[in-house]
Amino acid sequence: MRSNLYRLGRYAARRPWVVIGAWLVVAALVIAASGAFGKKLEDSFGAPGVDSQAATDLLSAAGADQAGLTAQVVVTPRDSTSTLNSPDLRTALTRIQSAAASLPHVLRAGDPVISPDGRVGLIRLQYPVLEKLEPSDLEQLKTLAAVDSPLRIELGGDLFYAFEQGQAGLGEAVGLIAAVVILLLAFGSIIAMGLPIGMAVFGLALAVSSLSLVTYLIDLPSWAPVLGSMIGLGVGIDYALIIVTRHREYLSRGMSVAESVGSAVATAGQAVLFAGGTVVIAILGLVVAGVPFVTAGGIAVSLIVLTMVLASITLLPAFLGLAGHWINRIRVRRVRPSPGSGWQRWAGHVSKHAAAYAVSATVLLLALAAPVLALRVGTPDDGALPVQRTERRAYDLVAAGFGAGSNGPLVVAVDISRDPGVVQPLFDAVRADQGIASVAPPAVNTAAGVATLIAVPTTGPQDDATMTTVKRLRAEVFPSVLRNSPAKAHVGGQTATLADVGARVNDRLPWFIGAVILLSVVLLTVVFRSVVVPLKAALMNLLSIGASFGVIVMIFQWGWAADLIGLDSTIPILPFIPMFMFAVVFGLSMDYEVFLLTRIREEYVRTQDNTASTIHGITTTGRVITSAALIMITVFVSFSLADDPTAKMFGLGLATAVLVDATVVRLILVPALMKLLGDANWWTPAWLNHRSPWTKARHADPGTAVELAGEPGSDMSLQR
């Protein structure tokens, strides 16, 4: 692999315009095709086989309006002393209802419902299913808020959940600015700083543009580009940073530009391939979840990461070849191509006190991870949004006027094709349940054999009590009424759907974690020809992931420092976030593991001195890993500036994981455990070690050993 990568890198450096031209042609074709033929990205939050999906399927098959999305128009008098019972305000409310009913794709605008105190009016709008809607429908709905009226108008509902997506622009801009500053400090050269930035932005633009074409193969969720941009920007700059650092080291040894680029791609590029492969494997492991939109989101993110890997080993070498020796010019500060002695002193210090540092770091990580035991999966509702958002203001008005449960009604779909007489008994039983505040009169479609009940819980969408009510309806209320009937009843609606998805994810999470760890361990075993190193890496990554989950619980569930990130209230963790975060964090954690251990292994093959090799690995990668981690952390933290609590969870969780992994794990636990385990780190069963390239290097002639250890001295040594 290294010789092939060397030839690829050297070719790109010698013929940069050929490679750059090829990328430009591909980018032009993809962007043009995306603009002309790309399909929109759609959100579908169901999961096959769950009860809420059965409700949606039943209503859809019957052509019932309730199968589609809803929106809420909430009004209140601008005058704090008036009520909606006055004739003038009633007339204004009627005009608003008529305007709402005339909006495109609105199937029905219900009659206004007035709260008992007369201060809040609610109009429910019924839309068709998501596949028949466009983001423009949400924009049309928003025009109602600009209507000249004595009533203040606020908006909310499913339509916002489907189409009101967080914008990545601010996060990307802040992340890029931080990356520029950090790379300038790391490289001290404007050109050396600009190459990773340019490659990452180009690759990200190409990958994100391609997503609308990928939808011809699989439906992708509309939030995939935002999450993909967050991860793609971070890994793209990180991978480029690793390769550029190696290239500058080889240039400082007197290599020609083409030879240096080829050698950097052969060594650091191989680490990028394995690191990127680990990220892709971890994210693709989301298929185990059995939730289509989670799997689709993972595929989209994996595609972006894969594009960044390919750009790192082809486009970046072309940029490096084009820059030539100018990469070290236009300096803003002088930085030696090799790291200073500070990292060496630190690594030596940790090795001398390995046991103390290993115990202390482990205790710290366990303490940070302890809150995971209190993790509560649920559905954050619009009450978690900032008050600047109309959905939040609508939520508060509805909760104050009608009760919190009105923000998350349950849709009960009943198959009455073989027993129409069950509608009234079922209606009475649902209305009598302790967790139900009210039930609208049944909507019966005799021809289709379907009845629909809209039940309003006594508690809000994110409350545990609401989930308990849903479970009780399914396990107790429905069976008691339908025991001797062929009719079937199902609970649907957004609240029930997200609860079902959460239950599915929780059931599959252990299998998912096991699958990702197994695949990653196998990959690292192949890379390093060691059983101990991969197992140790997996355990340490689990600790860093647990710490990030613990911080998420402390901030979002317990409210610690919530004000600092603009969170107005505590909220549960969205069901699919733990699984998605685990995939991303585990992959990114393995990135730094591969980068560090590759250097340690190279030195160990050359010297057979485990302690010296560990110190060498920390010394040569400390500055690079720290710079890469700072870039990643800044990118992730910048995404927490979004209004969406989900984006905040992802951003802070990923930033915490990278911070812990690049400091406590890589700079303390790794050198401490490597020292304590000694040569046992590299133990391998004979059957696995038989064909190891590292073993071949140990017994080969010095030139070949140097080549396999990643320190090529000439074109000839690598070609051999």
Joined together, the tokens standing for residue 22 give: 């090829």
What pTM does this model have?
A: 0.77
Q: At a CB cut-off of 8 Å and minimum separation 6, what does 449 contact?
A: 62, 415, 416, 417, 418, 420
Q: What is the mean pLDDT of residues 369-382?
A: 83
In angstroms, the CA 673 to CA 337 distance is 28
In angstroms, the CA 714 to CA 703 distance is 10
Q: What is the distance between the terminal CA atoms of the chain, rounded to a whole angstrom?
A: 12
Q: At a CB cut-off of 8 Å and minimum separation 6, what does 161 contact?
A: 43, 494
In 3D space, the residue among 188, 197, 191, 194 whose CA is nearest the CA of residue 332 turns out to be: 188
- Measuring CA to CA, how many Å separate 203 from each of 237, 501, 677? 10, 33, 41
Q: What is the mean pLDDT of residues 201-210?
A: 91
Q: Do residues 433 and 469 touch, judged by C-beta distance below 8 A?
A: yes
Q: Do residues 237 and 196 touch, judged by C-beta distance below 8 A?
A: yes
Give the pLDDT confidence of 297-320 residue by residue, as tens digits. 889 989 999 999 999 999 999 999
Q: Do residues 689 and 524 touch, judged by C-beta distance below 8 A?
A: no
Q: Do residues 58 and 302 touch, judged by C-beta distance below 8 A?
A: no
Q: Do residues 419 and 487 touch, judged by C-beta distance below 8 A?
A: yes
Q: Please, which pLDDT band fits residue 45 given cuts at 50, 70 and 90?
A: low
Can you give the pLDDT at residue 503?
Answer: 83
- Measuring CA to CA, how many Å separate 608 from each of 330, 600, 603, 666? 41, 11, 8, 21
Q: What is the mean pLDDT of residues 208-217?
A: 89
Query: How many of the other CB atoms lie within 10 Å of CB of 356?
Result: 11
**Residue written as tokens 């191509």?**
337
Joined together, the tokens standing for residue 579 give: 């699984």
Is 60 exceeded by the pLDDT of residue 706?
A: no
Q: Do residues 663 and 630 touch, judged by C-beta distance below 8 A?
A: no
Q: Vertex 423, ends 419 and 429: CA angle to 5°?
A: 125
Q: What is the mean pLDDT of residues 628-633?
A: 84
Higher pLDDT, 628 or 675: 675
Q: Please, which pLDDT band fits residue 699 given cuts at 50, 70 and 90?
A: very low
Kindly report which listed range (80-89, 154-163, 336-345) carries the lowest average pLDDT score: 336-345
Give the pLDDT confidence of 460-480 residue by residue, as tens digits. 888 889 989 999 999 999 999
Q: Please, which pLDDT band fits residue 703 given cuts at 50, 70 and 90?
A: very low
For the chain, percent of residues with pLDDT exceeding 90: 36
Higher pLDDT, 196 or 178: 196
Question: How much of the chain is helix, strand and coil, in % rounded to 5?
Answer: 70, 10, 25
- Structural domains in the chain, CATH included, are 1-37+165-338 (1.20.1640.10), 70-156 (3.30.70.3400), 339-380+502-684 (1.20.1640.10), 383-498 (3.30.70.1430)
Kindly report which listed range (264-268, 585-589, 654-658) carries the lowest average pLDDT score: 585-589
Joined together, the tokens standing for residue 671 give: 């050198």
Return the biggest CA–CA distance within the chain.
97
When mean pLDDT is compared over 117-131, 155-169, 268-282, the highest value belongs to: 117-131
Is 90 exceeded by the pLDDT of residue 412?
A: yes
Q: Please, which pLDDT band fits residue 67 given cuts at 50, 70 and 90?
A: low
When mean pLDDT is compared over 70-84, 186-200, 282-296, 574-588, the highest value belongs to: 70-84
Q: What is the mean pLDDT of residues 96-119?
A: 92
Q: Which helix (H) or strand (E) holds 427?
A: helix 423-432
- Measuring CA to CA, how many Å separate 713 from each of 318, 348, 586, 653? 21, 28, 35, 42
Can you give the pLDDT at residue 165?
Answer: 61
**Residue written as tokens 């479609």?**
445
Backbone angle region of 403, left / alpha / beta, with phi > 0 → left and psi within -120 to 50 → alpha: left
Q: Please, which pLDDT band fits residue 224 given cuts at 50, 70 and 90?
A: confident
Q: At a CB cut-off of 8 Å and minimum separation 6, what does 267 contact?
A: 2, 246, 598, 602, 710, 711, 712
Query: Which DSSP string do the residues of 626-660 spell out, in sequence order?
Result: HHHHHHHHHHHHHHTTSS-HHHHHHHHHHHHHHHH
In angstroms, the CA 94 to CA 101 distance is 11
Can you give the pLDDT at residue 172?
Answer: 64
Kindly report which listed range (349-358, 528-537, 574-583) carries the lowest average pLDDT score: 574-583
For the chain, percent of residues with pLDDT exceeding 70: 91
Q: What is the mean pLDDT of residues 410-434?
A: 94
Coil vs helix vs strand at 85: coil
Can you give the pLDDT at residue 701?
Answer: 36
Give the pLDDT confidence of 639-686 residue by residue, as tens digits. 777 777 777 888 888 888 889 988 898 889 989 999 999 888 888 777
